[in-house]
Structure 1
């Protein structure tokens, strides 16, 4: 599996320069943790890596193959789990997850979805409509997407939000297994999570201005 890297990335949101001249590189088996104060662009960078936000300037590439030249191949290589839980309220947990598994190319979406729910300790929510799930159950359901269909790069925005300690331990184990198999992880978090040997990208080092909590909240809402 090739490495994934960004070079001289600049993010412009409206008329605000969020970060500039940002470089990173992640090799198979590595984990990269995004740190920085509220508003420094952690969520924006993850959305950029997922292809949901275009860099104002800079380059994203798998080795020498630029993402913009092969966007479909890039999408097949990633799982992005955003800060907000994307759960359809009228669909059951299993139906929600099977949709993502099918989109990711799983041969048997329902079976993969149920296996993923089981790994995250919530097989009992499979028939429950999304509207009745608790915040913690919705978070586990969304995180189960990373197991429902294979992808080498996981992009996780605050993955521990609404999780109890037991669920965080489950996630730590799942990430460790993914990395041991050559998978890669980029995540942002305000909570403690065990990522042995991870590297840190301090986003405020690439930011030209100070930020506050209101800007970070606006970022998540976009």
Structure 2
């Protein structure tokens, strides 16, 4: 279980959010909603340990999640706004590097996101939606109980968003948790909402 207690964040001389609390259990999903600038991305970065909280705490199974940042990083996958792809590498090569770190089957991950036919193309020639799907394919590699996703559907058409459903379903069925910032509906049935 992950539990946020009274988290607050200060960025660029401004209080971005204050007194944010929630708890999610294995198999749960939480959607972060709110207007642009409400603090959704900042909250995800705080939860990932990439940005310090001004106050409050984050607990993982009742213990301070940030006591060991390396251990915390190993139990999550964070997907921000940037796709973090090497343009000169093929789609398969981009995932192969990640698979060496975390394990998993590169071709199965490409297939899960409908990219198997593009495996040998350099990332630089992919459309923005294809690049986003390639970034999302990293979720299918290795195991991490917590996925932190910042606008995962940006640049995706409706069919591509629906391709995420089996990926999300399998992760949650295995006890995984998803926290996603979004303005659009995601295929996460029974997800709770936290409006910032």
TM-score by length of 2: 0.95
Q: Which residue of 2 aligns with 1:54?
A: 52
Q: Which residue of 2 aligns with 1:129?
A: 122
Q: Which residue of 2 aligns with 1:14?
A: 12
SS at the partner of 1:19?
A: strand
Taking the TM superposition and a 5 Å limit, the aligned residue runs for 1:100-179 are: 100-104=98-102, 106=103, 112-179=105-172
Q: Structure 2, unaligned stretches of length 5 or more?
A: none
Deviations, residues 108-159 of structure 1 (Å, cap 9, x unaligned) = x6xx122101111111221111111111110110000111111111111111
Aligned partners of 1:96, 1:14: CA distance in 2, in Å? Answer: 33
Aligned partners of 1:160, 1:152: CA distance in 2, in Å? Answer: 20
Aligned partners of 1:113, 1:119: CA distance in 2, in Å? Answer: 10
State how many pairs are aligned. Answer: 196
SS at the partner of 2:44?
A: helix
Residue 192 of structure 1: CA displacement? Answer: 1.9
CA RMSD of aligned residues (A): 1.2
Q: Which residue of 2 aligns with 1:210?
A: none
Q: Structure 1, unaligned stretches of length 5 or more?
A: 204-222
Runs of 4+ in 1 over 4 A off after TM superposition: none
SS at the partner of 1:9?
A: strand
Aligned partners of 2:74, 2:113: CA distance in 1, in Å? Answer: 23
Deviations, residues 170-212 of structure 1 (Å, cap 9, x unaligned) = 1022111211121100001111223211111111xxxxxxxxx
Residue 20 of structure 1: CA displacement? Answer: 0.8
Aligned partners of 2:50, 2:89: CA distance in 1, in Å? Answer: 25
Residue 70 of structure 1: CA displacement? Answer: 1.6
Q: Which residue of 2 aligns with 1:73?
A: 71
SS at the partner of 2:108?
A: helix
Aligned partners of 1:200, 1:124: CA distance in 2, in Å? Answer: 36
Taking the TM superposition and a 5 Å limit, the aligned residue runs for 1:37-52 are: 37-52=35-50
Aligned partners of 1:100, 1:53: CA distance in 2, in Å? Answer: 23
Residue 64 of structure 1: CA displacement? Answer: 2.0
Higher helix share: 1
Aligned partners of 1:100, 1:5: CA distance in 2, in Å? Answer: 28
SS at the partner of 1:68?
A: coil
